[in-house]
């Protein structure tokens, strides 16, 4: 459905993504795991049209995507960026309305968002900047779904959230997927991501070093131990606690 072919991207001399190819199939959750600085965010920004890759192509349902963020949204691909990028000067509801900028069913989308996240409904007229981290992540996901995307790109949705909330977020991603949205999930939190992923790959220094099903990679001790070796002590503790 969403196919990336031989994609490379560099910031000047720093090469962040090297010749990456993969495909997100219709209806699946695909995870890309990798440690800090592996190139995950750069890769997703290329897919979302925010960065223009030096080489390589991105196809959505067979059609090549331009490096243009708004056109990518129109093609049904929506990015929920790392750090959430909430419009903190606007209210919760205004954030949702902007999320549905390309949608013809904004009212229904807002209703669906409040069904999914009652806490957002209670805070609909509150400035989004005053929400807690978890609430902001919920808003970011609800806002992303407002455009009725076919593919959702999620950049580290668990970042900075308490373990219990991470579980909620993963559950929501699974629910959205069951409702028909294909998902490309990028995570440092490997165990959580692999648990819900149908397919996954490992990104290291900008290249894909391993691929497989979620379960295969979750059982691949060499991957996990090496991967755990790359994250700092706090993150490691969190992973173990969550496991």
Ligand X SMILES: Nc1ncnc2c1ncn2[C@@H]1O[C@H](COP(=O)(O)OP(=O)(O)O)[C@@H](O)[C@H]1O
**Which residues of the chain form contacts with ligand X (CB under 6 A)?**
11, 14, 16, 34, 36-42
Q: Decide if residue 41 touches Mg ion (CB under 5 A).
A: yes
Q: Decide if residue 48 touches other proteins (CB under 8 A).
A: yes
Q: Decide if residue 98 touches other proteins (CB under 8 A).
A: yes
CA angle 139, 129, 121 (to 5 degrees): 40
Among 123, 143, 199, 238, binds other proteins (CB under 8 A): 143
Q: Which long-range contacts (CB under 8 A, 24 or more apart) does 14-18 make?
A: 15/206, 16/42, 16/43, 16/206, 17/42, 17/43, 17/46, 17/53, 17/206, 18/205, 18/206, 18/207
Distance (Å, whole) CA 29 – CA 200: 8
Query: Tokens for 169?
Result: 């977020």
CB of 11 to other proteins, least distance (A): 13
Q: Decide if residue 136 touches Mg ion (CB under 5 A).
A: no
Pair 191, 239: CB distance under 8 Å: yes
Using only C-alpha atoms, the chain has a radius of gyration, in whole angstroms, of 17
With CB under 5 to 8 Å by kind, the binding choice for 42 among other proteins, ligand X, Mg ion, none is: ligand X
CB of 41 to Mg ion, least distance (A): 3
CB of 44 to Mg ion, least distance (A): 8
Contact residues for Mg ion, defined by CB under 5 A: 40-41, 82
What does the binding site for other proteins look like in residue numbers (CB under 8 A)?
48, 50, 69-70, 73-74, 78-79, 81, 85, 87-90, 94, 97-99, 101-102, 143, 147
């Amino acid at each position: 459905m969403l196919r990336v072919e031989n994609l490379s991207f560099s910031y000047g001399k720093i090469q962040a993504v090297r010749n990456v190819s993969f495909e997100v199939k219709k209806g699946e959750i695909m995870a890309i795991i990798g440690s800090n600085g592996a190139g995950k965010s750069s890769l997703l920004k290329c897919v979302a049209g925010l960065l223009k890759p030096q080489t390589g192509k991105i196809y959505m349902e067979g059609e090549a995507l331009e490096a243009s963020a708004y056109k990518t949204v129109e093609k049904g691909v929506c990015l929920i960026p790392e750090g959430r990028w909430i419009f903190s000067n606007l209210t919760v509801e205004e954030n949702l309305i902007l999320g549905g900028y390309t949608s013809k069913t904004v009212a229904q989308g807002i209703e669906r968002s409040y069904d999914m996240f009652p806490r957002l409904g209670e805070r609909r007229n509150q400035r989004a900047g005053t929400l807690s981290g978890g609430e902001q992540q919920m808003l970011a996901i609800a806002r992303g779904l407002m455009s009725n995307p076919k593919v959702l790109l999620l950049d580290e949705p668990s970042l900075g959230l308490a373990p219990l909330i991470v579980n909620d977020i993963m559950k929501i991603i699974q629910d959205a997927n069951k409702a028909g949205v294909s998902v490309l999930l990028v995570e440092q939190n490997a165990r959580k991501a692999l648990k819900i992923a149908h397919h996954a790959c490992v990104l290291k220094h900008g290249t894909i070093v391993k691929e497989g099903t979620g379960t295969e990679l979750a059982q691949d001790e060499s991957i996990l131990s090496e991967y755990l070796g790359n994250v700092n002590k706090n993150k490691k503790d969190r992973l173990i606690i969550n496991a």
